[in-house]
């Protein structure tokens, strides 16, 4: 660290305990940036916690830095979105240093989250980027380009239901797109953007920067959320810039094969080297990510078990996980019960075979002696033919006695075997008495 940097840090720490703008007591140092330091503060009369950003002491006399700081305050203050911290106040303190008062936020930034957990579940990573798209959509509609999007500038807070709430912070080098803006108006003398997330046009130092540079940065952040690696690696600033300008990122699916192919195409399109090849607007990028978000991509991410988030920024609340397990257990129980019932109701093999034999028509088989002659009929009624009498019993001739079965007629020559078993249809007789004869004579 340089001597000037050490002095600046010491001066920032020395402000803790002081009161700015007459009512905000600086309680602790939250962080420092290129232009200023951010403190946790408390309103002396209301007791409300706020965040106060103050220009670093070494830059308080730089007219360009002061103009940029004021531009950030005025541009961010005009934006109304749940994904952009609300600006409460802006003024100069007793030392003439400008102070920006914003809502106080608690949470982790994405850089801290990636360091703690590695690659995020696919649906959660997509949801975070889509929330950032909604916040940037408000900024772009107001003609503001962030130009310094990176994981550390996306703060992950918690809603009352435990879900993620993304806040876009640090509009310190934001560019306000104005009609008839000249190239000199964008020069600040400071590094614009963070190398790993710079668009190629930023890396080349071009002046014509528009909202598509933010789209590129979001593509680089989503790449890192999915793979835990940066799309453009490098150990030095120049190595990173060279990679951005001359090489393509490694395919997402080579690093993490579980990423759906369609989502991988969206990521690489956002990282296109030419701005015209990227989505034309932040809304278009958000819409293309819709099918992979939690409300529309559960089916796509159901097999993604690479990493489950945990702790204060878990992917899902314990209650949600419990409901999911209960639902799975219920479905498994229903399927098991249905299978048992079906098994009990199905007939056993032997019973099924017996039932089939009972229900199927049986062919009529008779002994040769039980087939009547064609010119005789056993009865005038539709009664079944009784079995042939025993050979030792003589036929009774009394009326009303047992009737013997008619004799069988031998098959005619040339007739088929089936014809030999054909039983002649009974024919009505004029008399109720029959002439009985012994079929065995």
pLDDT over 60 at 391, yes or no: no
Residues sharing a CB contact under 8 Å with residue 90, sequence separation 6 or more, in sequence order: 70, 73, 74, 77, 98, 99, 100, 101
Q: Which residue has the higher pLDDT, 50 or 312?
A: 50
Report which listed range, 158-167, 337-346, 378-387, 391-400, is most confident. 158-167
Half-sphere exposure of 390 (CA within 13 A, CB side): 2
Q: Which residue has the higher pLDDT, 347 or 86?
A: 86
pLDDT over 80 at 389, yes or no: no
Lowest mean pLDDT among 80-94, 154-168, 350-364: 350-364
Q: For the chain, what percent of residues have pLDDT higher than 70?
A: 61
Distance between CA atoms of residues 21 and 94, nearest Å: 7
Residue-by-residue DSSP string for 314-369:
-SS-HHHHHHHHHHHHHHHHHHHHHHHHHHHHSPPHHHHHHHHHHHSPPPP---GG
Angle between helices 212-227 and 110-117 (to 10 degrees): 20
Q: Which residue has the higher pLDDT, 60 or 201?
A: 201
pLDDT over 80 at 124, yes or no: yes
Q: Which of 439, 431, 369, 436 is nearest to 396 (CA)?
A: 436
The answer to whether the beta carbons of residues 101 and 24 sit under 8 Å apart is yes
Distance between CA atoms of residues 441 and 437, nearest Å: 8
Integer-rounded Cα Rg, in Å, for the chain is 46
The answer to whether the beta carbons of residues 228 and 118 sit under 8 Å apart is yes
SS3 116: helix
Distance between CA atoms of residues 367 and 365, nearest Å: 7
Active-site residues, by number, are 148
Report which listed range, 31-40, 203-212, 428-437, is most confident. 203-212
Query: Residue 162: left (phi > 0), alpha (psi -120 to 50), or beta?
Result: left
pLDDT over 80 at 394, yes or no: no
pTM of the model: 0.62
The answer to whether the beta carbons of residues 37 and 14 sit under 8 Å apart is no
Distance between CA atoms of residues 301 and 338, nearest Å: 29
Distance between CA atoms of residues 154 and 132, nearest Å: 8
Look at residue 93 in the predicted model and tell me its pLDDT.
Answer: 78
Lowest mean pLDDT among 5-19, 220-234, 394-408: 394-408
pLDDT over 60 at 209, yes or no: yes
Residues sharing a CB contact under 8 Å with residue 273, sequence separation 6 or more, in sequence order: 200, 245, 248
Q: How far is CA 356 from CA 207, 209, 342, 365, in A?
A: 88, 83, 20, 19
Distance between CA atoms of residues 207 and 178, nearest Å: 13
Residues sharing a CB contact under 8 Å with residue 367, sequence separation 6 or more, in sequence order: 388, 408
Q: For the chain, what percent of residues have pLDDT higher than 90?
A: 39
Q: Which residue has the higher pLDDT, 223 or 177?
A: 223
CA 139 centroid distance within chain: 28
Confidence bin at 6 (pLDDT 50/70/90): low
Domains along the chain with CATH numbers: 8-104 (3.30.200.20), 107-181+191-307 (1.10.510.10)
- Which alpha helices (H) appear in 228-317, and where do they start and end? 237-246, 252-255, 261-270, 282-289, 298-301
Distance between CA atoms of residues 365 and 41, nearest Å: 108
The answer to whether the beta carbons of residues 424 and 411 sit under 8 Å apart is no
Order across the sheet with 154-158: list the strands: 108-109, 154-158, 164-168
Query: Residue 398: left (phi > 0), alpha (psi -120 to 50), or beta?
Result: beta
What tokens appear for 298 in the block?
């559960």
What tokens appear for 171 in the block?
């509009």
pLDDT over 80 at 61, yes or no: no
């Amino acid at each position: 660290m340089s001597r000037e940097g050490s002095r600046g840090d010491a001066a920032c720490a020395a402000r803790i305990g002081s009161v700015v703008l007459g009512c905000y007591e600086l309680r602790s140092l939250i962080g420092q940036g290129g232009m200023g330091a951010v403190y946790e503060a408390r309103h002396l009369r209301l007791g409300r916690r706020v965040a106060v950003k103050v220009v670093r002491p070494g830059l308080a006399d730089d007219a360009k830095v002061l103009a940029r700081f004021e531009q950030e305050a005025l541009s961010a203050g005009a934006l109304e979105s749940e994904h952009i911290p609300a600006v409460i106040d802006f003024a100069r303190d007793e030392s003439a240093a400008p102070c920006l008062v914003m809502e106080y936020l608690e949470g982790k930034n994405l850089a801290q989250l990636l360091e703690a957990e590695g690659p995020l579940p696919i649906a959660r990573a997509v949801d975070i980027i889509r929330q950032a798209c909604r916040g940037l959509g408000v900024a772009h509609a107001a003609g503001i380009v962030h130009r310094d999007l990176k994981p550390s500038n996306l703060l992950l807070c918690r809603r009352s239901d435990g879900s993620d709430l993304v806040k876009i912070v640090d509009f310190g080098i934001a560019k306000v797109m104005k009609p008839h803006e000249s190239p000199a108006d964008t020069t600040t003398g400071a590094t614009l953007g963070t190398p790993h997330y710079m668009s190629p046009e930023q890396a080349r130092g071009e002046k014509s920067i528009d909202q598509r540079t933010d789209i590129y940065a979001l593509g680089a952040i989503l790449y890192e959320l999915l793979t835990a690696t940066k799309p453009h690696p490098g150990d030095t600033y120049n190595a990173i810039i060279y990679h951005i300008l001359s090489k393509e990122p490694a395919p997402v699916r080579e690093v993490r094969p579980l990423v759906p192919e369609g989502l991988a195409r969206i990521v690489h399109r956002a990282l296109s080297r030419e701005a015209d090849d990227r989505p034309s607007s932040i809304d278009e990028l958000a819409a293309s990510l819709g099918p992979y978000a939690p409300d529309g991509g559960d089916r796509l991410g159901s097999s993604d078990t690479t990493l489950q988030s945990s702790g204060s920024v878990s992917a899902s609340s314990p209650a949600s996980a419990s409901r999911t397990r209960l639902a799975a257990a219920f479905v498994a129980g229903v399927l098991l019960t249905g299978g048992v019932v079906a098994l009990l109701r199905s007939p056993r093999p032997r019973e099924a075979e017996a039932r089939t034999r009972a229900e199927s028509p049986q062919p009529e088989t008779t002994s040769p002696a039980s087939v009547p002659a064609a010119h005789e009929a056993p009865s005038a009624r539709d009664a079944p033919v009784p079995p042939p009498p025993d050979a030792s019993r003589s036929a009774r001739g009394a009326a009303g006695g047992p009737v013997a079965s008619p004799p069988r007629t031998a098959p005619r020559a040339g007739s088929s075997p089936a014809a030999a078993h054909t039983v002649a249809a009974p024919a009505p007789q004029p008399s109720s008495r029959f002439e009985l004869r012994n079929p065995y004579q």
